[in-house]
Amino acid sequence: MLVLIVRGDNANKNQAVNHYTALNLTKLDVLGGFEKIKVAVAYKDPATGEEMDFFPADLGLLERCEVVVRSIGPLPYLHE
């Protein structure tokens, strides 16, 4: 599963660096009908309790981070 965390100032930085003008999410139709799906929304440093809405570039920090997951749903059935 591909999980993207793009929001706030981080989204502006990503756009400036990568020069994209749109974000296309595919395969959403296969998620239709699920009661709930889990989506990664941040990384949390257990040592400090800080939640980061960006991918940690420091490998030491990334190694100790936990993924913060939220459940969303139900999702509409998209097949005709």
> Using one digit for the tens of pLDDT, what is the confidence trace for 18-30?
776 666 667 777 7
Domain ranges of the chain: 8-72
> What pLDDT is recorded for position 35?
84
Query: What span, in angstroms and rounded, lies between the C-alpha atoms of 45 and 11?
Result: 21
Is the backbone of residue 18 left (phi > 0), alpha (psi -120 to 50) or beta?
alpha
Quote the pTM value.
Answer: 0.57
> What pLDDT is recorded for position 65?
94
**Residue 44 in tokens:** 């949390």
Confidence of residue 66 (pLDDT cuts 50, 70, 90): very high
CATH top-level class of 8-72: alpha beta
Query: What span, in angstroms and rounded, lies between the C-alpha atoms of 6 and 54?
Result: 8
